[in-house]
């Protein structure tokens, strides 16, 4: 959530950032925020004045009673009672105004970093770099949803989409045999790599309450994209970012606690998979999928260096998996609601002849921390120190479905599907045939 003090002191910069994210009626919304903020401050000042007068009058009553002036004391008591009525009304007004202000603030997305390119759609994203050679596949190469049928054995295909439809519905594949073992291999590989890079492994809940959804910005923006358990008022997580970042809700960290580097594997659930076409076939878009997520919490002055380090780390995973990839800097119109700067990593699918997004790594600056009330306090021996909001970052490291799709498609040969060397010790075989 944007900080009201920043909006008040930087109205034009706020408007420029909102326009870069194509927020409709940005000026009207900001004007409403500033109007409510002024009302809030005026009401708070009036309430403080009334309370001060009431406190002073209470002291005056004691002095009058002590001096024996009962008539003046009774008059002062009457005035104190009137002031209490006024203060109660002002307190109710203040609560109402603050709620109105909060309701408007939560509709505003994070402001984009200065390096975010202009643009409205994915076509306007900036290609930062490409790495690796696109493989030349043999004649008759197949996309993964057809390729798995080629290796249908007695137990059925190693990724069974039809069985998933039978059990749950479209978007819930069943992994069997070598398909399940590759899934487990990828998860363990990603976790081991993160641990070696200094991340602390977390196994969080995969359902969250409304406060957690609000803290990281999924609520009230993305209710329609999450599965909801009505009886318990719980949501299935869209990503491990949500529960892991919420570990630090209402927490004050010290210098000794920073930086925070967490990693977690979870299944993820998203209701969005409903469109049609080759771009969402097979593993390209699912309702349930596995992902390893990295989360960092940093001091503001360190966060953009941390973002670059996280990007390099995710790229190192793709390099070890021998996958050609590219890095995109997302434009203002294609960025997430809560992000200040996002890099997308896409791998090349040789059979589909298209790029597949497999990771997003983002810096949210103070946007999530403000909602979470996540702050730091410096360790000082010369007296008290002020708290400051921290910066939160997260990235997919990595999401499995499209990684697996690219591995299967890019490594198909006449002899079978070759497994990347780095995964062989994890899955125990080097080819699917």
Angle at 134 between CA 131 and CA 138, to 5 degrees: 160
- Calpha distance 92→99 (Å, rounded): 11
From start to end of 164-313, where are the E strands? 174-175, 200-201, 207-208, 228-229, 234-236, 252-254, 260-269, 288-298
By the 8 A CB rule, do 294 and 398 touch? Answer: no
The answer to whether 239 is annotated as binding is yes
Q: How many CB atoms lie within 10 A of CB 374?
A: 26
The answer to whether 359 is annotated as binding is yes
The answer to whether 358 is annotated as binding is yes
The H-or-E segment that residue 165 falls in is: helix 161-167
The answer to whether 394 is annotated as binding is yes
Phi-psi region of 338 (alpha: psi -120 to 50; beta: other; left: phi over 0): alpha
**Residue 135 CB-density burial (10 A; 0-12 exposed, 13-18 middle, 19+ buried):** middle
Q: Which two tokens stand for residue 430?
A: 């080097």
The answer to whether 46 is annotated as binding is no
**Residue 360 CB-density burial (10 A; 0-12 exposed, 13-18 middle, 19+ buried):** buried
Pairing of β 387-389 and β 375-377: antiparallel
The answer to whether 293 is annotated as binding is yes
The answer to whether 184 is annotated as binding is no
To which residue do tokens 């050609």 refer? 324
Instruction: Locate all alpha helices (DSSP H) within 106-152, ordered by sequence.
Output: 144-150
> Which residue ranges are tagged as binding site for ATP?
270-272, 357-360
> Which residue ranges are tagged as binding site for L-serine?
239, 270, 293, 394
> Which residue ranges are tagged as binding site?
239, 270-272, 293, 357-360, 394
């Amino acid at each position: 959530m944007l900080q009201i003090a920043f909006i008040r002191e930087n109205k034009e910069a706020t408007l420029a950032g909102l326009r870069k994210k194509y927020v409709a009626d940005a000026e009207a919304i900001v004007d409403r925020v500033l109007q409510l903020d002024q009302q809030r401050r005026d009401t708070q000042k009036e309430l403080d004045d009334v309370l001060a007068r009431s406190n002073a009058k209470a002291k005056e009553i004691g002095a009058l009673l002590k001096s024996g002036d009962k008539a003046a004391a009774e008059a002062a008591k009457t005035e104190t009672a009137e002031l209490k009525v006024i203060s109660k009304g002002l307190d109710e007004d203040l609560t109402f105004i603050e709620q109105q202000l909060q309701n408007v603030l939560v509709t505003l997305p994070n402001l984009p970093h200065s390096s975010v390119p202009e643009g409205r759609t994915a076509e306007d994203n900036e290609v930062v770099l490409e790495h690796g050679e696109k493989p030349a596949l043999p004649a008759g190469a197949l996309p993964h949803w057809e390729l798995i049928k080629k290796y249908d054995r007695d137990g059925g295909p190693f990724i069974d989409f039809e069985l998933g439809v039978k059990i749950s519905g479209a978007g819930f594949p069943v992994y069997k045999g070598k398909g399940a073992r590759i899934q487990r291999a990828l998860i363990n590989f990603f976790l081991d790599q993160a641990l070696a890079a200094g991340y602390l492994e977390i196994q969080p809940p995969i359902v969250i309450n409304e406060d957690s959804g609000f803290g990281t910005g999924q609520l009230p923006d993305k209710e329609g994209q999450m599965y909801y358990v009505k009886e318990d008022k719980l949501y299935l997580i869209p990503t491990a970012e949500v529960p892991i970042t919420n570990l630090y809700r209402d927490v004050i960290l010290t210098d000794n606690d920073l930086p925070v580097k967490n990693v977690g594997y979870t299944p993820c659930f998203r209701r969005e998979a409903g469109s049609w076409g080759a771009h969402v076939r097979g593993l390209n878009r699912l309702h349930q999928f596995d992902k390893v997520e990295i989360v960092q919490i940093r001091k503001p002055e360190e966060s953009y260096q941390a973002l670059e380090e996280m990007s390099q780390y995710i790229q190192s995973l793709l390099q070890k998996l021998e996958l050609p990839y590219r890095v995109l800097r997302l434009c203002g119109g294609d960025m997430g609601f809560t992000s200040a700067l996002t890099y997308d990593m896409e791998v090349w699918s040789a059979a589909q002849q298209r790029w597949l997004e497999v990771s997003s790594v983002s810096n949210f600056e103070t946007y999530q921390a403000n909602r979470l009330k996540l702050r730091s306090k410096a360790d000082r021996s010369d007296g008290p120190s002020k708290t400051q909001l921290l910066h939160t970052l997260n990235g997919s490291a990595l999401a499995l479905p499209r990684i697996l799709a690219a591995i299967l498609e890019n490594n198909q040969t006449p002899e079978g599907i070759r497994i990347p060397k780095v995964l062989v010790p994890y899955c125990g075989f080097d080819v699917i045939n």
